[in-house]
């Protein structure tokens, strides 16, 4: 039985890119438990695709054609979507965590604030979510693509959107988790911090390790990663019904029920027979389907060493471009080739 502590959280804007979704899935598939706060996920036929990981659930607004926010919950984490606070650009889920010995309900939110919105941020959906958290006295953690600049979040300047958003945040209990000035959005023409992480004051002290990752995401946005300090989560052994030895199962079941031709006349007789049948089926199943332990995960099955080398080269190219040793066209060429190979490996796996 494996025991895990500290809930890993990943935040990323995927820009509706299929290959970026694949890389995120590979990153999450190495974890036993975790939460991903995603903006602009890959959408195909009105459904969020690309995050099909065993023992994972994706939450988003299923009533819109192109959702721009979703939350992925992995492993033994118990989660429930808050439908009244879920829309095209906002998704909220309640997660049960053990924090400081207490069973706490924490709200996780994924928020997208479109840059072409008519009104300055915050959006009404974001205001409603923060108000609900405050009224219910529930801790709140938000991953947000704000499309806004402010020096308080690490940006190099302040624009109207950033000023309006900060003016609202100072009236709430929300803290900005961003540390440093490392850009979360990188293109050849500019680099800026436009993605922010927020947490209410009652949960912010339990968030550690906030950082912007250098990992290649195949999106113009970078991974933001942090952990929520929580009590250990026990991962119990599990059984896979598809691995059951069915011939032996039927033989055991027939042996357990052999010679039972009793007459059922009363309600008690019926209940006794049902109980016996259920217990016989359960014991036969457990005898012929072995328990499995949670072993360390190795990532997606389509991931090859070739991709690891190309990912490393892409990361190296970005560093060299920052030092003006190569031009950004070389970086783009390498990323395009990385995307092509990723797509081909998934198709052939």
What is the model's pLDDT at position 32?
75
Residue 26 Cα distances to 122, 169, 249, angstroms: 33, 34, 36
- Which range has the worst mean pLDDT, 227-236, 245-254, 338-347? 227-236
Read off the pLDDT of residues 208-221 as tens digits, 9 standing for 90 and up: 999 999 998 999 99
What confidence tier does 240 reach under pLDDT thresholds 50, 70, 90? Answer: confident
pLDDT in tens, 146-165: 999 999 999 999 999 999 99
Tokens of 303: 């991931």
CB 187 within 8 A of CB 220: yes
What's the pLDDT at 264?
77
Identify the residue with better confidence: 298 or 191: 191
Measure Cα distances from 210 to 49, 200, 254, 301 in Å.
27, 15, 58, 29
- Listed in order, strand segments (DSSP E) in 115-222 are 140-145, 174-176, 185-186, 191-192, 195-200, 207-212
By three-state DSSP, how is residue 302 classified? Answer: coil
Q: Give the tens place of pLDDT for each residue, 128-137.
A: 999 999 999 9
Both tokens of 82, joined, read 């808050």
Question: Which of 176-190, 244-258, 291-305 is most confident?
Answer: 176-190
- pLDDT greater than 80 at residue 76: no
Residue 233 has pLDDT above 70, yes or no: no
- 19's CB contacts (< 8 A; 6+ apart) are 218, 338, 339, 342, 343
Q: How far apart are CA 34 and CA 74, in angstroms?
A: 5
The C-alpha angle with vertex 308 and arms to 307 and 310, in degrees rounded to 5, equals: 65
**5, pLDDT greater than 80:** no
Specify whether the CB–CB gap between 39 and 13 falls below 8 A. Answer: yes
The answer to whether residues 150 and 162 touch, using CB atoms and an 8 Å cutoff, is: yes
pLDDT-derived band at 30, boundaries 50, 70, 90: confident
Q: What is the pLDDT of residue 1?
A: 46
- Express as a percent the part of the chain with pLDDT over 90: 53
Average pLDDT score over the chain = 89
Cis peptide preceding 122, ω within 30 of 0: yes
Give the lowest-confidence range in 167-171, 266-270, 293-297: 293-297
φ, ψ of residue 270 to 5 degrees: the values are: -65, -45
Q: What is the pLDDT of residues 114-150, one digit of tens each?
A: 999 999 999 999 999 999 999 999 999 999 999 999 9
Q: What is the pLDDT of residue 234?
A: 65
Token readout for 346 is: 């998934």
Q: In this structure, what token pair is assigned to residue 89?
A: 């650009």
Q: Is the pLDDT of residue 346 over 80?
A: no
């Amino acid at each position: 039985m494996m025991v895990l502590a500290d809930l890993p959280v990943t935040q990323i804007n995927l820009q509706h890119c299929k290959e970026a979704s694949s890389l995120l899935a590979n990153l999450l598939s190495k974890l036993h438990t975790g939460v991903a706060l995603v903006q602009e996920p890959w959408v195909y036929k009105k459904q969020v695709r690309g995050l099909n990981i065993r023992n994972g659930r994706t939450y988003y607004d299923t009533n819109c054609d192109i959702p721009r926010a979703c939350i992925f919950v992995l492993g033994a984490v118990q989660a429930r979507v808050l439908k009244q606070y879920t829309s095209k650009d906002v998704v909220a889920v309640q997660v049960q965590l053990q924090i400081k010995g207490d069973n706490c309900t924490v709200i996780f939110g994924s928020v997208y604030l479109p840059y072409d919105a008519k009104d300055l941020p915050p959006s009404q959906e974001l205001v409603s979510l923060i108000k609900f958290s405050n009224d219910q006295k529930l801790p709140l953690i938000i991953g947000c693509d704000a499309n806004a600049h402010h020096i308080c979040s690490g940006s190099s300047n302040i624009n109207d959107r950033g000023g309006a958003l900060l003016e609202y945040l100072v009236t709430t209990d929300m803290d900005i988790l961003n540390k440093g000035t490392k850009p979360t959005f990188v293109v050849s023409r500019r680099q800026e911090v436009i993605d922010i992480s927020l947490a209410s004051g009652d949960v912010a002290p339990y968030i550690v390790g906030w950082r912007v990752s250098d990992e290649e995401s195949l999106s113009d946005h970078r991974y933001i990663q942090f952990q929520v300090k929580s009590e250990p989560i026990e991962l119990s052994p599990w059984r896979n019904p598809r691995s059951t030895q069915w011939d032996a199962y039927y033989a055991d079941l027939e042996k357990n029920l052999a010679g039972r031709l009793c007459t059922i006349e009363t309600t008690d007789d019926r209940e006794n027979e049902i109980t016996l049948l259920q217990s016989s089926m359960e014991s036969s199943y457990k005898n012929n389907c072995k328990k499995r332990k949670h072993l360390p995960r190795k990532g997606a099955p389509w991931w090859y060493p070739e991709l690891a080398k190309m990912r490393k080269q892409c990361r190296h190219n970005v560093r060299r471009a920052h030092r003006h040793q190569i031009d950004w066209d070389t970086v783009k060429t390498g990323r395009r080739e990385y995307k092509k190979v990723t797509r081909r490996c998934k198709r052939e796996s």
